[in-house]
Chains A and B, each alone.
Chain A
Amino acid sequence: MHSSVGHALILALPVVVVAFYAMTAWLERRRAGANAPISFFKRNGIAVSIYLIAAVTLWTILMIVLPQLYMIDLSFRPKLPPNQMGGPKDLYTLENYQYFLFGSTRSTAQWNIIHIKAFALTIGASIVVTAFNLALCYPVAFYMAKVSTPARLRLLMLMLIAPYWVNEILRAFAIRILLASSGVVNQALIGLGLVDQPVDFLGLDIGMYAGLSYAYLLMMVFPLYNAIESLDRNQIEAARDLGAPWWHIHAFIVLPHAKPGIASGCTLVFMLTAGALAAPLILGGPSTLWFTPIVYDRFYQAFNWSQGAAYALLLLLACILFVLAAMRIGKLSLGEITR
């Protein structure tokens, strides 16, 4: 199929969807007659209505939907010089995905080990980092929600938020200074006589994982805190009165209640970690390949945007699968996750 057909479909899609909903709403109003609820234009007035519709249309269509659809579209098109784009050679193809698997657009003889491994590593490591952050933040969130006094709570909040006003790059940089071979940690270890050679934290990727976990702690604490905060303290007291041990209270009362917060925190942290660019660039060892830098290189080193789009789409699919899994496991709706 030629790419111009695809473009026509892409441009028609939002129009059709919007028209469909507008039609059903209009028909419903007509059927309801005098009982119809007050119309959008009447409720907001003409000027405000125009602003609302214009802003939302620009946002949803031009800033969200069309770019995504164009990216999907491009990922199925061959790499062509600009003057040939839209020309006779611009036919839909799977060659970009083939490249991801086999490292070549023609042969399927060899697996593209480097890219596949980087992809698998990124997804796997992101899951581990997410789980680690959940374990690390749960006690803090619980303390803030149910133990701390209001004054102390405000202080804790401030202390949590303050580091996040520091740029992501600088935070990664701080970890690098800390873990460098002449950094504070190594000097301390040597000083204590625990090691006699500096440990190459960065080369071993310990730095990168520390940086990834460090970067998005906040995104875990706050959803957890919000969810636990809404738990009625009496439920905990009642369980304690009945003699439930502390782990039982957490496993069967607090955690189930905090499920939306856990799902939402994990989704955010996973998405941010898998899509992280700064920490891998700054903290990754020379042999590490995180997936996002590879995507970047497809665009701005290899100048193969079609391939880049295909790689980006793979990453996006992984994130979507994670969100769906979180929704399924937690039996949650999208609204509960993004709260």
Chain B
Amino acid sequence: MTGQLVNRWLIGIYLAGFFTYLFGPLIVMGITAFNSSNYPAVVPFEGATLEWFRILLSDGEVVQGLRTSLLIGVLVVCVSVPVGLAGAIVLTQIHARARPLYYLVVVSPVLTPGVIIGISTVIFWRDVTQTTGIRMFYDGIVMTVLSQSSFISAYCMLILLARLQRFDRSLEEAALDLGATHAQVFRDVLLPFLRPAMLSASVLAFLASFENYNTTTFAILADKTLTTVLAGRVRQGSTPAISALAVMIVAITVAAAVAYEILKRRDDARRKARKAAAAAEEGRDLTPVVVGGAPQSAMAD
């Protein structure tokens, strides 16, 4: 018994240490955001201030970077989710002999360092531009979207694949049997079934894009995203304004996480209620019979 107690204590201490490691640096950074000292510091705490937030929001480069990041994030979602969806569907249908090669190709971006994805994209499109003379693709934002999408699509594919594998093909057949065309089956049955997974894939794709640095820094050329602006600032020297930015991001994160948790709880409760309703209905299964129960005109006209 005491052995177990000791074990519980050890585990508790270990977890506490682990999460201190995880959160400690962020908390310290958060405190520095509110300290009026010029260098990010906790002590001496020279008085609470919101000044760093004001400086941050009037910093044109940061705001511009943020705009670019948001734009790229949205574009990446628009590319990655449809591409990942197609990738997942094709994986379930492709000829068995081609599947290993196909799988190797589509998951390789997940196992390739981000810098290399950025590098190869830039090299490729530079060459395309040189040989064809089309300048459209040799553009920081376009190439960042393309390079980020190459691996974010793979994330999306893996998420969608997990859900797709639980898809009951008889739903598709039922829709066909009722007269739907293949396009209607896709729109009315498959897409709604995948919608939750597509939502999570979109969120994940946006976040992955928004915080990406390694790929972006190679592909963005002369433009700047929030992360590349930040990287430049941090390397030049640190001001608490950067801590302020981190605090804002963490605050948004926590708010989003709490909102997500609440939505999930509500959804769970709703599902539970439905199940209870279904169970209650079982009792009535045996009562009404069609004959006499329904009005005569039901099918006659």
- The answer to whether any beta carbons of A and B sit under 8 Å apart in the complex is yes
- List the interface of chain A (C-beta within 8 A of B): 17, 21, 24-25, 28, 40, 42-48, 51-52, 55-56, 58-60, 62-68, 70-71, 74, 82, 85-86, 136, 139-140, 143, 147, 154, 158-163, 165-178, 182-184, 187, 214, 217, 267-268, 271-272, 274-278, 281-282, 292, 295-296, 299, 305, 308-309, 312, 315-316, 319, 323, 334-335, 337-339
Chain B minimum-CB-distance residue to A278: B213
Q: Is the CB–CB distance between A82 and B130 below 8 Å?
A: yes
Give the Cβ gap from A57 to chain B, nearest Cβ, in Å. 9
Q: Contacts A169-B213, A173-B29 given; indicate if A338 touches B158 (C-beta within 8 A).
A: yes
Report B-chain residues with C-beta under 8 Å of the C-beta of A276. Answer: 214
Report B-chain residues with C-beta under 8 Å of the C-beta of A62. Answer: 146
List B residues 82-138 near A (Cβ within 8 Å).
82-83, 85-87, 89-90, 93, 95, 97-98, 100-117, 119-127, 130-131
List B residues 139-160 near A (Cβ within 8 Å).
146-147, 149-150, 153, 158
Q: Contacts A47-B183, A71-B116 given; indicate if A55 touches B104 (C-beta within 8 A).
A: no
Q: Is the CB–CB distance between B93 and A40 below 8 Å?
A: yes
Q: Is the CB–CB distance between A316 and B112 below 8 Å?
A: yes
Q: Is the CB–CB distance between A68 and B120 below 8 Å?
A: yes
Give the Cβ gap from B81 to chain A, nearest Cβ, in Å. 10
Chain B minimum-CB-distance residue to A85: B130
Give the Cβ gap from B4 to chain A, nearest Cβ, in Å. 11
Q: Is the CB–CB distance between A296 and B23 below 8 Å?
A: no
Q: Is the CB–CB distance between B124 and A66 below 8 Å?
A: yes
Q: How far is the CA of A56 from the CA of B217 in the complex (A)?
A: 26
Q: Is the CB–CB distance between A177 and B111 below 8 Å?
A: no
Report A-chain residues with C-beta under 8 Å of the C-beta of B107. Answer: 334, 338
Report the number of A-B residue pairs with Cβ-Cβ less than 8 Å: 260
Q: Is the CB–CB distance between B119 and A308 below 8 Å?
A: yes
Q: Is the CB–CB distance between B183 and A48 below 8 Å?
A: yes
Residue in A139, A161, A316 whose beta carbon sits within 8 Å of that of B14 in the complex: A139
Report B-chain residues with C-beta under 8 Å of the C-beta of A136. Answer: 18
Is the C-beta of B250 less than 8 angstroms from some C-beta in chain A? Answer: yes
Report B-chain residues with C-beta under 8 Å of the C-beta of A159. Answer: 19, 22-23
Report B-chain residues with C-beta under 8 Å of the C-beta of A277. Answer: 114-115, 213-214, 217
Given pairs A74-B127, A154-B261, 19 additional interface contacts (CB within 8 A) = A40-B93, A43-B93, A48-B182, A55-B87, A56-B86, A59-B83, A67-B123, A140-B14, A161-B257, A165-B207, A168-B211, A169-B227, A275-B113, A275-B114, A275-B115, A281-B231, A282-B234, A299-B122, A315-B116
Is the C-beta of B243 less than 8 angstroms from some C-beta in chain A? Answer: yes
Which of the candidate stretches B34-42, B47-55, B280-288 sits at the interface with the other chain? B34-42
Q: Tell me the dominant secondary structure on chain B's binding face.
A: helix
Q: How far is the CA of A183 from the CA of B230 in the complex (A)?
A: 20
Q: Is the CB–CB distance between A44 and B186 below 8 Å?
A: yes
Task: Classify chain B: how many residues form its interface, as a range.
Answer: 35 or more
Report A-chain residues with C-beta under 8 Å of the C-beta of B217. Answer: 277, 296
Q: Is the CB–CB distance between B183 and A64 below 8 Å?
A: no
Give the Cβ gap from A212 to chain B, nearest Cβ, in Å. 13
Residue in B40, B89, B112, B257 whose beta carbon sits within 8 Å of that of A52 in the complex: B89
Chain B minimum-CB-distance residue to A44: B182
Report B-chain residues with C-beta under 8 Å of the C-beta of A44. Answer: 89, 93, 182, 186
Q: Is the CB–CB distance between B242 and A274 below 8 Å?
A: no
Q: How far is the CA of A45 from the CA of B187 in the complex (A)?
A: 12
Q: Is the CB–CB distance between B25 and A174 below 8 Å?
A: yes
Is the C-beta of B245 less than 8 angstroms from some C-beta in chain A? Answer: yes
Report A-chain residues with C-beta under 8 Å of the C-beta of B227. Answer: 167-169
Q: How far is the CA of A122 from the CA of B43 in the complex (A)?
A: 35
Q: How far is the CA of A55 from the CA of B120 in the complex (A)?
A: 20
Residue in B18, B41, B90, B185 whose beta carbon sits within 8 Å of that of A56 in the complex: B90
Is the C-beta of B56 less than 8 angstroms from some C-beta in chain A? Answer: no
Report B-chain residues with C-beta under 8 Å of the C-beta of A308. Answer: 119
Is the C-beta of B235 less than 8 angstroms from some C-beta in chain A? Answer: yes
Q: Is the CB–CB distance between B83 and A166 below 8 Å?
A: no
Is the C-beta of B202 less than 8 angstroms from some C-beta in chain A? Answer: no
Residue in A59, A281, A339 whose beta carbon sits within 8 Å of that of B235 in the complex: A281
- The contact sample of 25 A-B pairs, CB cut-off 8 A, is A44-B186, A45-B182, A56-B86, A56-B90, A59-B150, A60-B102, A67-B124, A68-B108, A163-B22, A165-B249, A166-B211, A166-B249, A167-B211, A169-B213, A171-B26, A174-B25, A183-B41, A214-B21, A292-B113, A305-B123, A319-B111, A323-B111, A334-B103, A338-B107, A339-B158
Report B-chain residues with C-beta under 8 Å of the C-beta of A139. Answer: 11, 14, 18
Is the C-beta of B238 less than 8 angstroms from some C-beta in chain A? Answer: yes
Q: Is the CB–CB distance between A312 and B213 below 8 Å?
A: no
Q: Contacts A63-B149, A170-B230, A184-B42 given; indicate if A70 touches B113 (C-beta within 8 A).
A: no
Is the C-beta of B254 less than 8 angstroms from some C-beta in chain A? Answer: yes
- The listed residue with most B CB atoms (<10 A of its CB), out of A24, A161, A323, A334, is A334
Give the Cβ gap from A62 to chain B, nearest Cβ, in Å. 8
Q: Is the CB–CB distance between B112 and A170 below 8 Å?
A: no
Report A-chain residues with C-beta under 8 Å of the C-beta of B146. Answer: 62-63
Q: How far is the CA of A305 from the CA of B183 in the complex (A)?
A: 46
Q: Is the CB–CB distance between B108 and A48 below 8 Å?
A: no
Q: Is the CB–CB distance between B121 and A67 below 8 Å?
A: yes
Q: Is the CB–CB distance between A178 and B111 below 8 Å?
A: no
Chain B minimum-CB-distance residue to A306: B123
Those 7 A-B pairs whose CB atoms lie nearest each other, nearest first? A275-B113, A45-B182, A55-B86, A174-B25, A67-B120, A67-B124, A71-B120
Q: How far is the CA of A140 from the CA of B112 in the complex (A)?
A: 27
Residue in A46, A178, A214 whose beta carbon sits within 8 Å of that of B28 in the complex: A178
Q: Is the CB–CB distance between A45 and B186 below 8 Å?
A: yes
Residue in B42, B116, B238, B254 whose beta carbon sits within 8 Å of that of A275 in the complex: B116
